[in-house]
Structure 1
């Protein structure tokens, strides 16, 4: 009988504005934002995230963003590294290809939330997933939307794809 192993699952949360959102959001949007969030899932000693290049991975904290602003422990999973890698590669070939990236509707946080639920049944913090609708609920957010829709976040790392 195979032994079942439990693996910790964490979400790394980065403020890609490096504090600027906290300082300028009220003046620009009329509401206070604590950050512009990028998230990644850390499991099996690797950080996984979605950006304009598709799904990528690196050592934990190894993106150009440096160390995360916060780390949320989502619990643990019994999903092995082999099964997880198959799952992530399949996502990268379908739902989370680079050309499907959208800053507001299909981004790193959408990916982290879906993967967190697959692994643990838990969602990432709502203050992260609610941010796009908060920004878009403001006149300035609506005015900026055409520009922001064309943007993609690419924090580095290695692309995930099938090794042939």
Structure 2
């Protein structure tokens, strides 16, 4: 059966001085912690989730969330996460279904609790099977965000 590679592009948003979410993350993280964005590439298209909902564009073009870097500067890592048996048309139909799912509308995006990494995790499982996993650095980044957010909220409540 015909299979197609599924890759994850991991962006280092610390390198982008105009990143729209940097200020939000820096309220939670320290200046020296890496801010990551992930997207999934399959059948010649790159898919991601952000403040505008699920987006699609050609890989290696500067996505709109990376404002002052070119692709080579912004992407810190590209990793093969699996193979899919879905055709390009089947993937496009799957993406349209996700775009219409209430969970993946733009208004549901939250940089900490419902972000690009949550989308990437679901998408690779739909494409490659439930055993597909994101690189550990993505899971660790999200875990770190949640841990820091809890302590940030606690500090805010105690001091105000």
Query: Normalising by structure 1, what TM-score?
Result: 0.71
Alignment of 1:17 onto 2:14 = yes
Aligned to 2:39: 40
Alignment of 1:142 onto 2:139 = no
For residue 96 of structure 1, the aligned residue among 84, 101, 104 is: 104
Alignment of 1:120 onto 2:128 = yes
Spell out structure 1 runs of 4+ moving beyond 6 A.
none
Gapped regions of structure 1 (runs ≥ 5): 147-164
What does the per-residue CA deviation read over 1:115-150, in whole Å, with 9 as the maximum and x for residues that have no partner? 11111131111321232331342479625999xxxx
What does the per-residue CA deviation read over 1:58-89, in whole Å, with 9 as the maximum and x for residues that have no partner? 11022143322110111211111111111111
Gapped regions of structure 2 (runs ≥ 5): none
Distance in 2 between the 1:48 and 1:12 partners? 10
Distance in 2 between the 1:39 and 1:107 partners? 9
Query: Normalising by structure 2, what TM-score?
Result: 0.73
Classify 1:73/1:144 alpha carbon distance in 2 versus 1 (closer, same or farther; 3 Å): farther
* Contact 1:40–1:47 under 8 Å retained in 2: yes
* Contact 2:6–2:42 under 8 Å retained in 1: yes
Higher deviation after alignment, 67-76 or 135-144: 135-144
Distance in 1 between the 2:43 and 2:154 partners? 38
Paired residue secondary structure (1:137): helix
Distance in 1 between the 2:4 and 2:77 partners? 20
Paired residue secondary structure (2:41): strand
Classify 1:139/1:109 alpha carbon distance in 2 versus 1 (closer, same or farther; 3 Å): closer
Distance in 1 between the 2:155 and 2:87 partners? 40
